[in-house]
Amino acid sequence: MATEVLLMTVVDGLGKDGDIVSVADGYARNYLLPRELAAPVTEATRRRLVKLQAERQKGEADALAGAQALAKKVAAASCTITVKVGDGEQLYGSVTESDIADALKSQDIEIDRNQIVLSDPIKELGTYDVSVHIHPEVEATVKVWVVEE
Protein backbone atom coordinates (compact mmCIF):
# COMPACT_ATOMS: atom_id res chain seq x y z
CA MET A 1 0.00 0.00 0.00
CA ALA A 2 1.04 3.58 -0.50
CA THR A 3 0.43 6.60 1.66
CA GLU A 4 0.38 10.19 0.51
CA VAL A 5 2.36 12.60 2.67
CA LEU A 6 3.19 16.28 2.50
CA LEU A 7 6.93 16.89 2.72
CA MET A 8 7.87 19.51 5.31
CA THR A 9 11.57 19.71 4.33
CA VAL A 10 13.79 18.63 1.46
CA VAL A 11 14.22 14.84 1.44
CA ASP A 12 16.94 13.54 -0.88
CA GLY A 13 15.58 11.34 -3.62
CA LEU A 14 11.99 12.13 -2.72
CA GLY A 15 11.23 15.83 -3.15
CA LYS A 16 11.29 19.26 -1.59
CA ASP A 17 9.10 20.94 0.99
CA GLY A 18 5.53 21.41 -0.14
CA ASP A 19 5.49 18.37 -2.45
CA ILE A 20 2.83 15.74 -1.99
CA VAL A 21 4.40 12.34 -2.60
CA SER A 22 3.24 8.76 -2.42
CA VAL A 23 5.48 6.51 -0.30
CA ALA A 24 5.27 3.06 1.26
CA ASP A 25 3.30 2.86 4.51
CA GLY A 26 6.29 1.65 6.54
CA TYR A 27 8.59 4.37 5.19
CA ALA A 28 6.08 7.04 6.14
CA ARG A 29 5.21 5.52 9.53
CA ASN A 30 8.74 4.58 10.63
CA TYR A 31 10.95 7.25 9.07
CA LEU A 32 9.26 10.34 7.65
CA LEU A 33 6.57 11.01 10.24
CA PRO A 34 8.62 10.44 13.47
CA ARG A 35 11.42 12.72 12.20
CA GLU A 36 8.85 15.36 11.13
CA LEU A 37 10.17 15.30 7.57
CA ALA A 38 6.61 14.80 6.36
CA ALA A 39 3.06 15.02 7.62
CA PRO A 40 -0.21 13.38 6.59
CA VAL A 41 -2.05 15.35 3.92
CA THR A 42 -4.63 17.52 5.75
CA GLU A 43 -5.67 21.17 5.64
CA ALA A 44 -3.92 21.83 8.96
CA THR A 45 -0.59 20.55 7.64
CA ARG A 46 -0.99 22.63 4.49
CA ARG A 47 -1.48 25.78 6.61
CA ARG A 48 1.50 24.83 8.79
CA LEU A 49 3.66 24.33 5.71
CA VAL A 50 2.69 27.73 4.28
CA LYS A 51 3.71 29.36 7.57
CA LEU A 52 7.04 27.48 7.63
CA GLN A 53 7.78 28.44 4.02
CA ALA A 54 7.08 32.11 4.75
CA GLU A 55 9.46 32.05 7.72
CA ARG A 56 12.12 30.28 5.65
CA GLN A 57 11.82 32.79 2.81
CA LYS A 58 12.19 35.68 5.23
CA GLY A 59 15.30 34.09 6.74
CA GLU A 60 16.77 33.45 3.29
CA ALA A 61 16.07 37.04 2.23
CA ASP A 62 17.84 38.35 5.36
CA ALA A 63 20.83 36.06 4.71
CA LEU A 64 21.01 37.23 1.10
CA ALA A 65 20.93 40.89 2.13
CA GLY A 66 23.72 40.29 4.65
CA ALA A 67 25.78 38.47 2.05
CA GLN A 68 25.35 41.29 -0.46
CA ALA A 69 26.51 43.84 2.12
CA LEU A 70 29.55 41.69 2.91
CA ALA A 71 30.26 41.34 -0.83
CA LYS A 72 30.43 45.13 -1.15
CA LYS A 73 32.96 45.28 1.70
CA VAL A 74 35.04 42.51 0.13
CA ALA A 75 34.97 44.09 -3.33
CA ALA A 76 36.12 47.42 -1.91
CA ALA A 77 38.95 45.81 0.05
CA SER A 78 42.40 44.81 -1.06
CA CYS A 79 44.99 43.01 0.99
CA THR A 80 48.75 42.98 0.91
CA ILE A 81 50.58 39.83 1.92
CA THR A 82 54.31 40.06 2.53
CA VAL A 83 56.35 36.93 1.94
CA LYS A 84 59.97 35.86 1.93
CA VAL A 85 61.43 35.27 -1.52
CA GLY A 86 64.53 33.59 -2.87
CA ASP A 87 66.36 33.82 -6.17
CA GLY A 88 64.27 34.81 -9.17
CA GLU A 89 61.47 36.14 -6.98
CA GLN A 90 60.33 32.61 -6.10
CA LEU A 91 58.42 32.42 -2.84
CA TYR A 92 59.46 30.26 0.06
CA GLY A 93 56.20 28.35 0.38
CA SER A 94 52.99 29.76 -1.07
CA VAL A 95 50.06 32.04 -0.31
CA THR A 96 46.92 30.02 0.45
CA GLU A 97 43.27 30.67 1.24
CA SER A 98 44.09 30.82 4.95
CA ASP A 99 46.63 33.61 4.41
CA ILE A 100 44.09 35.65 2.45
CA ALA A 101 41.39 35.05 5.08
CA ASP A 102 43.78 36.22 7.82
CA ALA A 103 44.66 39.35 5.82
CA LEU A 104 40.98 40.16 5.40
CA LYS A 105 40.33 39.47 9.07
CA SER A 106 42.86 42.16 9.99
CA GLN A 107 40.60 44.57 8.05
CA ASP A 108 37.53 43.43 10.06
CA ILE A 109 36.13 41.35 7.21
CA GLU A 110 35.15 37.91 8.47
CA ILE A 111 35.50 35.39 5.64
CA ASP A 112 35.94 31.65 6.12
CA ARG A 113 38.91 30.22 4.23
CA ASN A 114 36.59 27.74 2.52
CA GLN A 115 34.76 30.61 0.85
CA ILE A 116 37.94 31.78 -0.90
CA VAL A 117 38.50 30.14 -4.29
CA LEU A 118 42.05 29.65 -5.57
CA SER A 119 42.67 27.20 -8.40
CA ASP A 120 46.28 26.79 -7.20
CA PRO A 121 48.19 28.37 -4.29
CA ILE A 122 49.95 31.61 -5.25
CA LYS A 123 53.68 30.98 -5.69
CA GLU A 124 54.90 34.20 -7.32
CA LEU A 125 54.96 37.89 -6.49
CA GLY A 126 52.29 40.04 -8.13
CA THR A 127 48.71 41.18 -8.06
CA TYR A 128 45.88 38.66 -8.14
CA ASP A 129 42.10 38.87 -8.33
CA VAL A 130 40.74 36.23 -5.99
CA SER A 131 37.13 35.07 -6.06
CA VAL A 132 35.17 34.80 -2.80
CA HIS A 133 31.90 32.81 -2.67
CA ILE A 134 29.96 34.44 0.16
CA HIS A 135 26.53 32.95 -0.57
CA PRO A 136 25.28 30.58 -3.28
CA GLU A 137 23.94 33.61 -5.14
CA VAL A 138 26.63 36.15 -4.15
CA GLU A 139 30.24 36.23 -5.27
CA ALA A 140 32.85 38.97 -4.86
CA THR A 141 36.42 39.56 -6.00
CA VAL A 142 39.21 40.82 -3.75
CA LYS A 143 42.53 42.16 -4.99
CA VAL A 144 45.51 40.46 -3.37
CA TRP A 145 48.98 41.98 -3.55
CA VAL A 146 51.83 39.54 -2.89
CA VAL A 147 54.96 41.57 -2.16
CA GLU A 148 58.50 40.88 -1.00
CA GLU A 149 59.22 41.17 2.72
Distance CA 100, CA 42 (A): 52
Residue 147: partners with Cβ closer than 8 Å, 6 or more residues away: 80, 81, 82, 83, 125
Q: pLDDT band for position 14 (50/70/90)?
A: very high
What is the pLDDT confidence band of residue 139, given thresholds at 50, 70 and 90? very high
Per-residue pLDDT tens digits for 56-89: 899 899 999 999 999 999 999 999 999 988 877 7
Pair (18, 53) in one structural domain? yes
Last residue of a domain, one of 47, 67, 87: 67
Is the pLDDT at 51 greater than 90, yes or no?
no
Does 8 lie in the same domain as 63? Answer: yes
For 47, counting Cβ atoms within 10 Å of its Cβ (0-12 exposed, 13-18 middle, 19+ buried), the class is: exposed
Q: Note if the pTM is more than 0.85.
A: no
Contact present, 120 and 97 (Cβ < 8 Å): no
> What mean pLDDT value characterizes the chain?
90
pLDDT tens-digit profile of 98-115?
999 999 999 999 999 999
pLDDT at 9: 87
> DSSP alpha helices (H): ranges in 16-138?
25-27, 43-76, 97-105
Question: Are residue 93 and residue 63 in the same domain, yes or no?
Answer: no
If one counts the domains in the chain, the total is: 2
